[in-house]
Amino acid sequence: MTDIHTVLKIYTDAFLTHDPSRLGDILAEDVVVELAQGGTADGHAAALELWTAIATDTSGEFEIERELVHGDDAVLTWTLRRDDGLLRGANLLRVRDGRVRHAVGYTKAN
């Protein structure tokens, strides 16, 4: 079983390196990803498609500011720097049995 710290490393590496190839390994089949702009990506295929699109977008560079872990829950705060400005955000993740079960993303434009 993959521990939460390994799951977070795979998750953050995907966005930092624009390589989502291992994201599918850490998503539960019934994962729910709540989107910052509203709506959800329900299930492994939908979540993988969403996160792949974000991770492979090379118009900006992510920087992880902080990672907090408490049991099965993690909070990641980050900055995305793009030519058109700066976007700050946070992701809340619930990880069980080495897989992301639920994720919520929040963003704030500066």
Q: Tell me, what's the pLDDT at 105? A: 93
12, 23 Cβ separation under 8 angstroms:
no
Query: Hey, which residues does 88 pair with through a beta bridge?
Result: 79, 108
pLDDT of res. 91:
96
Per-residue DSSP letters for 49-68?
HHHHHHHT-TTEEEEEEEEE
* Domain architecture of the chain: domains with CATH: 4-109 (3.10.450.50)
The amino acid present at 56, given as its one-letter code, is: T
- Report the 10 Å Cβ neighbour count for 58: 7
Q: Are strands 40-42 and 73-82 parallel, antiparallel or unpaired?
A: unpaired
What pLDDT does residue 2 have? 78
Could you list the pLDDT tens digit for every one of the 110 residues in the chain? 579 999 999 999 999 999 999 999 999 999 999 998 889 999 999 999 999 999 999 999 999 999 999 999 999 999 999 988 899 999 999 999 999 999 999 998 66
Nearest to 33 by CA among 79, 91, 90, 75: 91
Q: Which stretches does DSSP call E strand in the chain? A: 27-34, 40-42, 60-70, 73-82, 85-96, 99-109
Question: Is the distance from CB of 106 to CB of 90 less than 8 angstroms?
Answer: yes
* pLDDT for residue 84: 86
